[in-house]
Structure 1
Amino acid sequence: MQANSSDKFAGKGISGSTLKWIAMITMIIDHFAVGIFIPMMEAGQLSTFDYSSVYTAYTISRAIGRLAFPIFCFLLVEGFFYTSNVKKYAIRLGIFAIISEVPFNLVIDQTFWNLGYQNVFFTLLIGLVTIWSMSKVENNFLKLIPALLGIVLAELLHTDYGAFGVLLIAVLYQYRELRLWQSIIGGLMVAWEITAPISFVLSYFYNGLKGRYNAKWLYWIYPVHLLIFGLIGRAILNA
């Protein structure tokens, strides 16, 4: 698969590794708010002043965290075009979706098992399979079929970001060769979260270069940090 010929920022823009780290750091900040700040507020042991301070920190952290998912979606689409083996890419996402499910549940509702809400790796996996299927269809109208199937599947499985997440991935894929329009449409799609459009300002300046990072190590960040935050959150509630 070929790289995007419209990467006009090649050599001077933002590399893939930089975007990944921005997404990872903002995601961790977001999950800290959910995994730690929410249990602190729910435990009922804070004074009025402390509760207000924690709630403010929670709100700010969540706003920062809104940058993560759109960047991950953008990078998934880029990864699809750059990878030499889409099947292995999908298998890797599937493995980490399974590994991450218990840590994800711990952060979301302090339980070890909950089939009512699945982690974002499932969303990314469905999104990858969706655009993979779309790439096999030449007619743009018929591409709607795999897109709709992916959207419905994500919603039925109650994955993180659900139907919207897969729709965003499909749209970013469809407009990949038109970076400006991809950024504008992507930004408008996530504008319901006020800070999220910033993600597409950053992705617009993507230079098409991978940068330096260990992909396997980065994958492990997701389940590990969720497990840590989830266990701390349970301890706070049970204290």
Structure 2
Amino acid sequence: MENSRRFPLILDGFWIKILAILTMTIDHIGVYMPASPWTLAFRYIGRLALPLFIFMVVEGALHTKNFKKYALRLGVMAAFISITIVTIELIPGLSFSIRNFGNIFLDLLLGALAVSLIDQKNWAIKALALLPIAYGIASFTADALEFCGCYGKILWFPYFLRTQYGFFGILLSVVFYVAKKLADVFILYQHNTTGIDLEIYDDSDLKRHAQNLLAFLALGVVSFILYVTGSLMPYKFVNWDLQLQAFAVVSGVFILLYNGRRGYNKKWFQYGAYLYYPIHLTILYLIFSLI
């Protein structure tokens, strides 16, 4: 089974996170930099960040020893970003704003909650996963209606409480979870067909390859849906390019190389990865303000 692997499993969780952070940073440089032929290229590269972050959040939500603490960390950062957005908006004469960057931690938190709920055995609890998804749909709808000017400011759902990517990030979390479960079904089928013990499959690369490939295919399906949605919806209702976001499917190449291991995970990196988001936005603003 080891010789059958198609892609080398060379990336652990640490390197997936590093790639996500790097592509996110490149994306935000593209946001700040003056319009040029490079701007769009930077934004395209930045599309790879979200699926990689989401992929690792799903891994974290399913493998953490204490989901409550895991969700609490995401929740604290989501609250911090929301408060920061409002505070900055209230400072008169300040041109810096992270409102347009959104609150990515809210997407990650809701995605983790959806996955954790679906993973429960009780069907009544599983059904609660519809709530995070509905929240994402409501965020997308509020953004669309506000952007087109159909209803002015939507005060019942203020911008600082909305997800950054509407329902896309939460939907992606769910399909990544489904991909893992379909891989389990495939391995069970292999076990029933070959008679090889399940523990042997668990220790081989076959299961990891199946999970990665199905996650890649799931990402492709969601990206296609996003592309079609962007093609069909009138542009006046969409304040971010859905067709551009569909380029996120390219990040699946890195997912195919994931080996399922956590990798380097010291405390400073865990918390540094959370704090990097607001810190790098501030640094980029200061740099481009001086240029």
- Which TM class, normalised by the smaller chain length? 0.7 to 0.9
Deviation at 1:17, TM superposition (A): 0.6
Q: Rg: which structure is higher? A: 2
In structure 2, relative to structure 1, the CA distance for the partners of 1:224 and 1:146 (3 Å cut) is same
The 1-side partners of 2:66 and 2:6 are apart by: 26
Q: How many residues align?
A: 209
| Secondary structure of the corresponding residue to residue 84 of structure 1 | coil
In structure 2, relative to structure 1, the CA distance for the partners of 1:113 and 1:33 (3 Å cut) is closer
| Secondary structure of the corresponding residue to residue 38 of structure 2 | helix
Q: Which has the higher helix share?
A: 2
For residues 31-70 of structure 1, the aligned pairs below 5 Å read: 31-34=28-31, 36-37=32-33, 40=34, 54-70=35-51
The 1-side partners of 2:277 and 2:114 are apart by: 23
Letter in 2 for 1:128: A
Select 1:14's aligned residue among 11, 19, 32: 11
Aligned-pair identity in percent equals 33
The 2-side partners of 1:87 and 1:69 are apart by: 23
The 2-side partners of 1:9 and 1:125 are apart by: 33
User: Where does structure 1 lack aligned partners over 5 or more consecutive residues?
Assistant: 1-7, 41-53
Give per-residue Cα distances to partners, 1:40-94, cap 9 Å, x unaligned. Answer: 4xxxxxxxxxxxxx32111000000000000111101111122111111111011
Are residue 217 (structure 1) and residue 221 (structure 2) matched? no
Contact 1:147 1:167 in 2 (8 A): no
User: Where does structure 2 lack aligned partners over 5 or more consecutive residues?
Assistant: 89-93, 140-160, 184-210, 228-244
TM-score by length of 1: 0.75
In structure 2, relative to structure 1, the CA distance for the partners of 1:175 and 1:17 (3 Å cut) is same
In structure 2, relative to structure 1, the CA distance for the partners of 1:134 and 1:194 (3 Å cut) is closer
Partner of 1:198: 250
Select 1:135's aligned residue among 110, 119, 130: 119
Are residue 121 (structure 1) and residue 105 (structure 2) matched? yes
Structure 1 runs (4+) greater than 4 angstroms displaced:
8-12, 102-106, 109-114
The 1-side partners of 2:173 and 2:108 are apart by: 8
Mean Cα deviation higher: 71-80 or 172-181: 172-181
Deviation at 1:19, TM superposition (A): 0.5
The 1-side partners of 2:22 and 2:95 are apart by: 22
Partner of 1:207: 259
Are residue 88 (structure 1) and residue 92 (structure 2) matched? no
